A and B are shown apart, each in its own frame.
Chain A
Amino acid sequence: MRQLVVGVGDGGVSRDPDVLIVTYALGSCVAVMLHDPVARVSGLVHYMLPESSMSSDKSNGRPWMFADTGISCLLRATLDHGADKRRLVVFAAGGAQVMNDNSMFNIGKRNCLALRKALWKFGLVAHAEETGGTEARTVRMEVGTGRVWLQTPGGEPKEMNARLSAVQRRPE
């Protein structure tokens, strides 16, 4: 399989079933992954910060860097590739508390809250989520099947199981 590596503050979408989307070292950052099982479209955003209002300059140049603009970009790109929002399966990982960050501005926690806020705004909810904790994570997503694997340092890859709604579980 060909790898499409998504870096920090970036995103990517594909319809190529031979592609594996990968993003590494999710510490306080969060990765959101979308998959349409009928259109076989998959996309991933690796955002660093919760709100684009934190820096208007950066949000203009790097919208994938923030939860609000990044998830919006991901959703739009996924729909542009032929996905149907009602069919989307949503995965999320990351948002760890790293480097003894017990401050009131814990970026990992704020990124997790921003994740839920953005998903709520766009009428989505995560079907599988591995967030919080203290460990960095790496995620890999098969574009064609929508299967996602998560790995922590020193650990084995573990598949994330999506808990679908009753409507999504019905055969097409």
Chain B
Amino acid sequence: MALNIMIVDDSPVMRAFIRKVVGLTGLDVGEYCEACDGEDALKSLGERWVDLVLTDINMPNMNGEEFVRRMESDDLLRSIPVIVVSTDSSHSRVQQMMALGAKGYVSKPFLPEALRDEVERVLGGGT
């Protein structure tokens, strides 16, 4: 069954990079949905179902922390797995995002295969 993937990052080129990495997994992707910040992402999530969200933290309007918090507080959205992809690799931030409900965390810069492996792990196919 095809999966719908949402990529949330204020950088269009970073969204393109992540999209290409997801392509490396060989997953059958039905639709890529892109958003430039948490607010944009929540609006899109109100209009379509996605199977995985990959989100940055530092974004204007609504940052990744608030976005994940809002997803977790929604009965429907909390079941969607979230992977954080961020330059912030501080211990406190990683712990904070995982406590808020994120299922995975990849720090920038990352090898494409590292994000690919995390996507596979979170979706249940990885080792």
Contact = CB atoms under 8 A, between A and B. Distances in A.
Chain B associates with chain A: yes
25 contacts: A86-B26, A120-B20, A120-B112, A123-B20, A123-B23, A123-B24, A124-B24, A125-B24, A125-B112, A125-B113, A125-B116, A126-B113, A165-B25, A165-B26, A165-B116, A165-B120, A166-B26, A166-B123, A166-B126, A167-B25, A167-B26, A167-B27, A167-B125, A168-B26, A169-B125
Contacts of B27: 167
Interface of B: 20, 23-27, 112-113, 116, 120, 123, 125-126
Nearest to A129: B113
Contacts, number: 29
Interface string A129-172: 00000000000000000000000000000000000011111000
A169 B113 CA distance: 16
Contacts of A120: 20, 112
Contacts of A124: 24
A68 B61 CA distance: 41
Given A125-B112, A165-B24, A167-B125, 13 more contacts: A120-B20, A123-B20, A123-B23, A123-B24, A124-B24, A126-B113, A165-B116, A166-B25, A166-B120, A166-B123, A166-B126, A167-B25, A167-B26
